[in-house]
């Protein structure tokens, strides 16, 4: 079964410094039809104004993944980590038993555009952790490059859940295929561009859930960027 989550129907929040779209229920946006999908709990598409951001705040018991689309985001946390995340980089923060962090646009002139993804971990009260890796455009060009996995295989960022995330930069006219093992769930998120997924037309910001689906066929109709979740 395949269900499209239209970008225009997502939840919305605009605080001036932050313009955010919520694929699933988050904050003041609540829709009982969209509470998550399998272990995937949050996909927020955020635009953060220059030099603004999220002041220090806390999290628990969640795997938090930041995927940069454009611009730069400065991260600092209570474990002593500090970094700037740029396009091509993927950051994972294990909130576990408790962590505090802040995130601010590192630019004084350009918006930061990112996806923040929350995945429920396989256990609670894990030791907090942090990891950040870079994946070049060439690694993702016209293929689905594994960027997040449970075991960190193929140089991916590791998380405490049986959930793979693949990133792809797909040129117009290119066709990609992904096969799901029996019983696994899939979620496709279109970051930029336009494509068809198993014959359904999708635009930037659209998502699609896949359940009891063995094969996903993508056909880009414009230069596109996608994230594909393959979850146990």
* pLDDT band (50, 70, 90) for residue 130: confident
Q: What is the pLDDT of residue 55?
A: 65
Residue 3 has pLDDT above 70, yes or no: yes
Q: What is the pLDDT of residue 60?
A: 72
Helix and strand counts by DSSP (H, E) for the chain: 1, 22
Residue 1's nearest CA partner among 176, 193, 214 is: 214
Positive or negative: CA dihedral 69, 75, 78, 80: positive
- Tell me what the mean pLDDT of segment 211-230 comes to: 97
Q: What is the pLDDT of residue 78?
A: 62
Q: What is the pLDDT of residue 112?
A: 93
Q: What is the pLDDT of residue 101?
A: 63
Residue 99 has pLDDT above 90, yes or no: no
φ/ψ of 150, rounded to 5, equals -65, -40
- Tell me what the mean pLDDT of segment 164-186 comes to: 97
pTM of the model: 0.94
Whether the Cβ atoms of residue 150 and residue 162 lie closer than 8 Å to each other: yes
φ/ψ of 206, rounded to 5, equals -75, 150
Whether the Cβ atoms of residue 169 and residue 158 lie closer than 8 Å to each other: no
Please measure the distance between the N-terminal and C-terminal CA atoms of the chain and give it in whole angstroms.
16
* H/E element, 138: helix 137-140
Exposed, middle or buried by CB within 10 Å (0-12, 13-18, 19+), for 107? middle
Task: Report percent pLDDT > 70 for the chain.
Answer: 94
Residue 197 has pLDDT above 70, yes or no: yes
Write the pLDDT tens digit of every residue in 28-78: 999 999 999 999 999 999 999 987 777 666 667 889 999 999 998 886 766
Give the chain's mean pLDDT: 92
Both tokens assigned to 97: 């038993």
Cβ neighbours, 10 Å, residue 131: 17
**Pick from 45-54, 142-151, 152-161: least confident:** 45-54
Report all structural domains of the chain as residue ranges with CATH numbers, in order of start: 10-134 (2.60.120.10), 137-231 (2.60.120.10)
**Pick from 10-14, 57-61, 156-160, 201-205: least confident:** 57-61
Q: What is the pLDDT of residue 184?
A: 97
Strand-strand pairing, 73-77 and 63-70: unpaired
Cβ neighbours, 10 Å, residue 161: 20
Please tell me the distance from the alpha carbon of residue 212 to that of residue 231, in angstroms, as a whole number.
12
- Tell me what the mean pLDDT of segment 169-195 comes to: 97
């Amino acid at each position: 079964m395949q269900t499209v989550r239209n970008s225009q129907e997502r939840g919305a929040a605009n605080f001036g410094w932050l313009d955010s779209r919520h694929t699933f229920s988050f904050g003041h946006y609540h829709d009982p039809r969209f509470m998550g999908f399998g272990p995937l709990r949050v996909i927020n598409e955020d635009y953060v104004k220059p030099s603004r951001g999220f002041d220090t705040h806390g999290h628990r018991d969640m795997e938090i993944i930041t995927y940069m689309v454009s611009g730069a985001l400065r991260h600092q946390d209570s474990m002593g980590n500090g970094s700037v995340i740029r396009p091509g980089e993927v950051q994972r923060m294990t909130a576990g038993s408790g962590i505090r962090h802040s995130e601010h646009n590192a630019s004084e002139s350009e918006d930061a555009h990112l996806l923040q993804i929350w995945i429920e971990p396989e256990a609670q009260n894990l030791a907090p952790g942090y990891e950040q890796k870079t994946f070049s455009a060439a690694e993702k060009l016209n293929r689905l490059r594994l960027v997040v996995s449970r075991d960190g295989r193929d140089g991916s960022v590791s998380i405490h859940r049986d959930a793979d995330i693949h990133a792809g930069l797909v040129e117009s006219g290119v066709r990609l295929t992904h096969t799901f093992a029996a019983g696994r769930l899939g979620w496709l998120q279109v970051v930029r561009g336009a494509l068809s997924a198993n014959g359904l037309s999708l635009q930037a910001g659209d998502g699609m859930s896949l359940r009891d689906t063995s094969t996903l066929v993508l056909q880009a109709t414009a230069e596109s960027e996608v994230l594909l979740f393959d979850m146990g």
